[in-house]
Amino acid sequence: MAEENGRQGEPCVRSKTGGTLTKGDVVVLTLRLLCMATSVTAMSFMVTARQVSAASFYGFQLQLHSKWSFSYSFEYLVGVTATATAYSLLQLLIAGSRLLVKKSPVIPSRNQAWLVFAGDQILAYAMMSAGSAASGVANLNRTGIRHTALPNFCKSLDSFCDHVTVSIAFTFFSCVMYAAAAVQDVIWLSTH
Amino acid sequence: MAEENGRQGEPCVRSKTGGTLTKGDVVVLTLRLLCMATSVTAMSFMVTARQVSAASFYGFQLQLHSKWSFSYSFEYLVGVTATATAYSLLQLLIAGSRLLVKKSPVIPSRNQAWLVFAGDQILAYAMMSAGSAASGVANLNRTGIRHTALPNFCKSLDSFCDHVTVSIAFTFFSCVMYAAAAVQDVIWLSTH
């Protein structure tokens, strides 16, 4: 029972519940955990990005309200990271239940592997898209728009801009994680 | 000689130069051609996006110069599509020379397949990134920025905005093509 879960030639670690964890399984679970952690971090930094500040432009005193939900791109980022978090949690639960409860491999069949590959690919693309759209807008905020004479918003909205920057960084890191998960799926497909 | 190029169970088309084109080879070549065509179209629409127009905002008469090189995101899109065009042309030349001159399969080894897969993946991500960054900025142009009271630039810069929109649409289509090429590589890897 324990032997059939371990792939040939891979070192096996016997888990406390009696199943076997191959090196491949550990990599899959670690990647899924990292995917979820980075998605949650990106989402929470973006959702907490709001600031009220005052600035004077050309002698006028303006009150600046900034909130993530004022920009479509930031809303999109929150939507994508929320979806990614839900997907990763689901994947983690499925993988965990297969390994610990049913004592079967994480990926039981080729069809399942193709399905997981498709999911990982789509989320990697979505993450890349969200990060890029948000950084396009964040870049405008930081430098001012070049063909109009808008001032630099980030001077007066420093906390808002920092939150957005950290969130975008984690979104790109998350994209790399999903891309790695997709490559892991391809390795599985090419060797099984 | 002709037989060893055809994969088992696949219909073979005898080309004029004496080599054999399997259904897989035709798919690969078609995808590469589509990748190149969409990249070139996206790039040329963006590079030709420029307009000079006049608009009156709140009673002031303003002259608006718009050009793709005024926005970092649009410059990035041009860079990515140019790289993609060069890459696709190179791939097409390599595939063509292998098929027609050397009469060997398009993808000769697993290592080569992994290399092509990596290239296609990276370009698909880059395309998605460029399209998203540009559409984040284009969306701002079209709707005005919500937390400041900027007017809608696209009313007076209609030709510029149309060029940008078409370019972004082709960038996303190009992304889909590269993603399809990557999936094609995975199918090759999983069956060889």
Q: Which two tokens stand for residue A45?
A: 């930094």
- What mean pLDDT comes out for the span A165-172? 92
Residue type, B123: L
Q: Which of A72, A133, A189 sits opposite B189 (nearest CB)?
A: A189
**Measured between alpha carbons, how far is B43 from A129 in angstroms, rounded to an integer?**
19
Average pLDDT across chain A, whole number? 79
Count how many Cα atoms sit within 13 Å of the Cα of residue A78 in the half-sphere of its side chain: 17
- What mean pLDDT comes out for the span B97-109? 81
Residue A179: pLDDT above 90? yes
Q: Considering only A60-74, B41-55, B127-141, which range has the smallest mean pLDDT?
A: A60-74
Residue B70: pLDDT above 90? no
Q: Pick the residue of B186, B187, B189, B192 with the most A CBs within 10 A to test the interface with A by mutation.
A: B186
pLDDT, residue B123, reads 92
Determine the 3-state secondary structure of B83 from DSSP: helix
Is the pLDDT higher at A191 or at B18?
A: A191
Q: Cβ of B125 and A128 within 8 Å?
A: yes
Task: Give the sign of the dihedral formed by CA B95, CA B97, CA B100, CA B106.
Answer: negative
Reported confidence tier of residue B87, pLDDT bands at 50, 70, 90: very high
Reported confidence tier of residue A137, pLDDT bands at 50, 70, 90: confident
**Measured between alpha carbons, how far is A91 from A97 in angstroms, rounded to an integer?**
10
* Chain A residues whose C-beta sits inside 8 Å of any chain B C-beta: 64-66, 70-73, 110, 117, 121, 124-125, 128-137, 139-140, 143, 146-148, 150, 175, 179, 182, 186, 189-190
User: Do strands B50-57 and B20-22 pair parallel, antiparallel, or not at all (unpaired)?
Assistant: unpaired
Q: Cβ of B128 and A128 within 8 Å?
A: yes
Residue A96: pLDDT above 90? no
Question: CB under 8 Å to A42, separation ≥6 — which residues?
Answer: A77, A81, A167, A168, A170, A171, A174
